[in-house]
Amino acid sequence: MLADQLDYIVGVDPHRDSHALAVVHVVSGAVVFESTVIADSDGYGQALRLVDQHAPGRRAFAVEGTGSFGAGLTRFLTVRGERVLEVGRLRRERRPGGKTDALDAVRAARSVLTQQRPATPRAGGERQALQALVAAREGAVNAKRAGLCQLRDLLITTPEPLRSELRPLTRARLLQRLAATRPHSRHDAELRGSMLALRSIARRVLQLTAEERELAAEIETITRKLAPQLLEQPGVGPHAAAQLVLSWSHRGRIESEAAFARLAGAAPIPASSGQTIRYRLDRSGDRKLNRALHMILVTRKRSHPATIAYIQRRIQEGKTRREANRCLKRYLARSLYRLLEHGAPLAT
């Protein structure tokens, strides 16, 4: 238990401009010290000095939001050898005594004492760089998709004869043509306005396409460095592999393959009744990780002989296709976890 390993827990409720601290004695549960510091490097140093004074023994920091407002403090403490534990979002129903930043810091400290195995923050460094790149690429992809939808809708109302000229073009030819369009003052207002709008959207889509490719290349480079074994697996592309690395983070963070499957929303949930044995879909967990597993599964069902044979065998045993897919996704989570944690896949 964590209570046997520590003398003090330092709870932290982080915000954009300030962090609330609360030092809690592990044995008695008493609040030893409370303070608020500025959320910058000077404030982090002040926080550590205050903790040195009031919690000199074995200690750990319980930080809420280690991937958001608490990220800076988490990096600061980790570099200096402090133990940092991740606190999940505190639920409102667990706040019977009201809510202040100081109270939330105390609750953050006490919440980890009730956990069998408190979570540790995700790794920084190259993994953090990968997360930033994935977020930027996802934003570029979404903006590009929105631009293409806007372009399609605008083409429907484009005046003739321009509409007829553009209709037979492929997407690539259409974007190049529109990006090079040069409206003239002799055009009527409706045609000139349509041409300007189409050119603006086309240039935006082309720019986003270039950004997407640049980011994708960098994502693949980092992913190959962090987990090259993933890309050797059938159906695992650079973007799915990157998401696997982001969700898993580092060795030892996720205690077992069952915990990884639960995180991925791939753990079976019993839904049996009488003589009927069924398992239903798990809609919890990391949905981005679940999506990565789903896309790997989609690719394997098209071109991986072992996967195709497995699904056919499960269907012959009386499983529905959805149930066979869930069984396969659970196996996939187990195999990929072992690959991430130990570098060796399960035998197929």
Question: What is the percentage of the chain residues whose pLDDT exceeds 90?
Answer: 61
Query: Burial of 264 by CB count in 10 Å (0-12 exposed, 13-18 middle, 19+ buried)?
Result: buried
The reported pLDDT for the residue numbered 346 is: 45
Do 113 and 87 contact (CB within 8 A), yes or no?
A: no
- Rounded to the nearest integer, the mean pLDDT of the chain is 89
The reported pLDDT for the residue numbered 267 is: 85
Q: Indicate whether 119 belongs to any domain.
A: no
Check whether 61 has a pLDDT greater than 60. Answer: yes
Residues 6+ apart with CB under 8 A from 286: 247, 263, 264, 265
Please report which confidence band the pLDDT of residue 91 belongs to, taking 50, 70 and 90 as the band edges: low
Please, which residues bridge with residue 8 across strands? 25, 59
Q: Indicate whether 312 belongs to any domain.
A: yes
Do 45 and 72 contact (CB within 8 A), yes or no?
A: no
The reported pLDDT for the residue numbered 347 is: 42
Q: Indicate whether 347 belongs to any domain.
A: no
Q: Average the pLDDT over each of 90-104, 127-141, 160-174, 273-287 and give the range with the smallest value.
A: 90-104
Q: Indicate whether 152 belongs to any domain.
A: yes
Taking the C-alpha atoms of residue 290 and residue 296, their distance in angstroms, rounded to an integer, is 10
Bond prior to 14 in cis (omega within 30° of 0): no
Domain boundary among 80, 113, 146: 113
Which tens digits make up the pLDDT trace of 199-253? 999 999 999 999 999 999 999 999 999 999 999 999 999 999 999 999 998 888 8
Residues 294, 209 share a domain: no
Taking the C-alpha atoms of residue 327 and residue 256, their distance in angstroms, rounded to an integer, is 18
Q: Which amino acid is at 12?
A: V
Structure tokens at 45: 């140093």
Do 159 and 191 contact (CB within 8 A), yes or no?
A: yes
Domain boundary among 190, 207, 226: 226
Residues 107, 8 share a domain: yes
Domain boundary among 91, 113, 135: 113
Residues 237, 218 share a domain: no
Q: Indicate whether 6 belongs to any domain.
A: yes
Residues 219, 149 share a domain: yes
Residues 307, 278 share a domain: yes
Which tens digits make up the pLDDT trace of 269-301? 777 777 777 777 777 888 999 999 999 999 999
Residues 233, 221 share a domain: no
- The larger pLDDT score, comparing residue 209 to residue 121, is at 209
Taking the C-alpha atoms of residue 80 and residue 63, their distance in angstroms, rounded to an integer, is 16
Structure tokens at 140: 């570029």
The stretch 80-104 carries a mean pLDDT of: 77
| DSSP labels, 81-147 | T--EEEEPPPPGGG-TT---HHHHHHHHHHHHHT-SS-B-PPP-THHHHHHHHHHHHHHHHHHHHHH
Its pTM surpasses 0.85? no
The stretch 13-33 carries a mean pLDDT of: 93
Structure tokens at 317: 């045993």
Q: Indicate whether 348 belongs to any domain.
A: no
Residues 265, 279 share a domain: yes
Check whether 183 has a pLDDT greater than 90. Answer: no
Taking the C-alpha atoms of residue 84 and residue 59, their distance in angstroms, rounded to an integer, is 9
Residues 259, 243 share a domain: yes
Residues 42, 101 share a domain: yes
Residues 97, 8 share a domain: yes
**How open is the CA angle 23-28-29, to the nearest 5 degrees?**
45
Instruction: Quote the number of domains for the chain.
Output: 3
Give the three-state DSSP class for 170: coil
Give the three-state DSSP class for 58: coil
Q: Indicate whether 171 belongs to any domain.
A: yes
Check whether 92 has a pLDDT greater than 80. Answer: no
- The larger pLDDT score, comparing residue 63 to residue 95, is at 63
Residues 233, 338 share a domain: yes
Taking the C-alpha atoms of residue 228 and residue 261, their distance in angstroms, rounded to an integer, is 21
Q: Indicate whether 36 belongs to any domain.
A: yes
Q: Provide the CATH number for the domain around residue 90.
A: 3.30.420.10
Please report which confidence band the pLDDT of residue 188 belongs to, taking 50, 70 and 90 as the band edges: confident
Could you tell me the residue range of the domain that residue 166 belongs to?
126-226
Residues 314, 235 share a domain: yes
